[in-house]
Structure 1
């Protein structure tokens, strides 16, 4: 285990090698593990990220700053940083965790990263920990949009439509798939003014709505870029499912859905025409 390589990636060299070892030690490995360091590192991380956001985004209010911080310090964000450090190769895990793939588990990697920050604080003080955290996050903040980071698709779609003075979308459950214990919901999202009708799927109604909202937001943006004053015609449901990448489109099969009034009229006319032709032949 080349701990010097890890320290190079962190941009920090420990004076007390024991603190580094402890920060990398999971509770499954030994009694001297990293959970207390994780607690300390979590607090320092939140403080430093809050300070960075406060200085960088002077026009944002408390609510937006809180949203940004929550998104930046959540488990997934820490896991992605840990992945860049290739932290998994330095973990000290018990035999059970090693066999179960604990070195790949996002929660373990995120917790270990926080423990490292706590260890740096104890080793050299707050400024050293702050410098390491800033080195992690400044490149991230250079590439994100503070107005949208951390917002879910439904919120972004709502804000987008409101900015264009367009009525809010409606969501409808059109189908459920699978057994009762593992249902998948198919959700329709409609934006009538733009002629948008898209479908999303998810393991819950909320997840399905989010999937549909993401697609609707993409289509709405494209529609307004091409023709700000005109809406886009809704694509057939099968085409939307293919576009969303949420279902495999099968060969066209007879529909169990009730026919529309227009279709019923066409069918009636067709039947009458066939009957007339048959009568003429008989005569």
Structure 2
């Protein structure tokens, strides 16, 4: 019991919010894999469903009120960037929430604590828990406080969903350039394989390096690193 209290209190400190209903935040932090074969365990998918709607409404309202000069089409695009899986993942990483999610051992050893979809879903479940416990006004403040950096990046066109495409656009704007993603190595057991990729131009200059639990993820991370390096040089 003491461990459970410590675990919940640690999460509350991360979120800067205190729940009277401890079961609610515990459910928000429980992945469906943890409940497999346990009928008495509730998991966070229902909360995730509610949290998605609360998040959409709060962000829509905020953009509507704060950016009165923006047309509907632009606000829709900005909202989609703010509430996308990658943005939710960014919030989850800031909270370090992956370490607190209850999941099966199988899910954990295959990288579940770092999986974008699991962390993003957990953020939505936490938002729902805040809404259920404290009501809309507190949930709205909680969302805006925690998404203000994401909102700023979206409005400044700094959120990139596909780093490989963005890198290609930048490198080839003045002519054709050969861009290659080279798998340097991989290690780890089959169920937890880690891939290391370098992105090069014209088969020589290494622009960036990336690591991921799939080739696709490692290539995207290499492109992200390359874009960061190019910004430092400019």
User: What's the TM-score, normalizing by structure 2?
Assistant: 0.67
**Are positions 1:246 and 2:201 aligned together?**
yes
Q: Match for residue 99 of structure 2?
A: 89
Displacement of 1:94: 1.1
Whose RCO is larger (CA < 8 A, sep 6+)? 2
Separation of aligned partners in 2, 1:107 and 1:121: 21
Displacement of 1:151: 7.5
Question: Aligned pairs, how many?
Answer: 176
Separation of aligned partners in 2, 1:13 and 1:74: 27
Displacement of 1:28: 0.7
Q: Match for residue 23 of structure 2?
A: 18
- In the alignment, which of 25, 37, 50 is matched to residue 40 of structure 1? 50
State the Cα deviation string for residues 174-231 of structure 1 (Å, max 9, x = none).
xxxxxxxxxxxxxxxxxxxxxxxxxxxx6xxxx4xx54322245x6xxxxxxxxxxxx
**Are positions 1:133 and 2:143 aligned together?**
yes
Displacement of 1:11: 2.1
Separation of aligned partners in 2, 1:20 and 1:86: 15
CA contact (8 A) 1:68 1:150 kept: no
**Are positions 1:214 and 2:170 aligned together?**
yes
CA separation of 1:111 and 1:151: change in aligned 2, threshold 3 A: closer
Separation of aligned partners in 2, 1:120 and 1:78: 16
**Are positions 1:7 and 2:1 aligned together?**
no
CA separation of 1:6 and 1:41: change in aligned 2, threshold 3 A: same
State the Cα deviation string for residues 124-170 of structure 1 (Å, max 9, x = none).
1111211110111223334x3626355889xxxxxxxxxxxxxxxxx
Separation of aligned partners in 2, 1:29 and 1:102: 11
Where do 5+ consecutive residues of structure 1 fail to align?
A: 154-201, 220-233, 251-283
User: What's the TM-score, normalizing by structure 1?
Assistant: 0.56
Displacement of 1:57: 1.3
Q: What is the aligned-residue RMSD (CA, Å)?
A: 2.7
Query: What SS does the aligned partner of 2:34 have?
Result: coil
- In the alignment, which of 148, 151, 169 is matched to residue 157 of structure 2? 148
CA contact (8 A) 2:47 2:128 kept: yes
**Are positions 1:50 and 2:55 aligned together?**
no
